[in-house]
Amino acid sequence: MTRKQKRISIIGGLAVVLGLATTLVLVALRDQIVFFYTPTEMHEKAVAAGTPVRLGGLVKVGTWHKNGQDNDFVVTDGKSEMTVSYVGILPDLFREGQGVVAEGSIGTNGAFTASNIMAKHDENYIPKGIVDELKARGEWKPDDPAGSLKALSGG
């Protein structure tokens, strides 16, 4: 075996090992990866029913209905809306007109059922997708993010 053939066989062996390692990591993470979508992206990408996702946006003012531990509200990004159902106790910071991330999945009927709700914990925090959407619409006011959010959520 010539020196060139040895180098090629070593490089080929390393490529096979690297490919196998990458495949194993991706298979191991497959069930752990949860993608983040805005309501508009949820509609555009036609996320399959039962796929775990995170839905982020603002709770539309006047849409939160509570009956015991059953909660229904609308999450909006200013362009599209999605109704979310959640059974359980909501975080103390959950309010209409505020940012929220709902973790769950879309059912076969098209309704989003959340298994976990994360309310914003910092009044200056706005999900990046929402900021991008506000900037694209020309409604982003960096000096007054709360004003931008109120305009977006209809409040």
Give me the pLDDT at residue 8, please: 95
Q: What is the CATH number of the domain that holds 55?
A: 2.40.50.140
Give me the pLDDT at residue 51, please: 86
pLDDT digit string (tens) for the chain, length 155 residues: 889 999 999 999 999 999 999 999 988 887 777 888 988 888 888 888 888 899 998 899 999 999 999 999 999 888 889 999 999 999 888 888 888 999 999 988 888 999 999 986 555 667 777 778 778 878 777 776 666 666 565 55
Q: How many domains does the chain have?
A: 1
Residue 12 lies in a domain: no
How many CA atoms lie less than 13 Å away from 61 in the CB half-sphere?
9
43 annotated as a binding-site residue: no
- Give the predicted TM-score (pTM) of the model: 0.64
Give me the pLDDT at residue 85, please: 95
Q: Which residue range is the domain that position 59 belongs to? A: 35-119
Give me the pLDDT at residue 26, please: 87
145 SS3 class: helix
- Please tell me the distance from the alpha carbon of residue 142 to that of residue 29, in angstroms, as a whole number: 36
Residue 4 lies in a domain: no
Give me the pLDDT at residue 123, please: 58
Give me the pLDDT at residue 34, please: 80
Of 85, 78, 128, give the one whose Cα is nearest residue 105.
85
Tokens representing residue 12 in the block: 């080929």
37 annotated as a binding-site residue: no
Give me the pLDDT at residue 93, please: 84
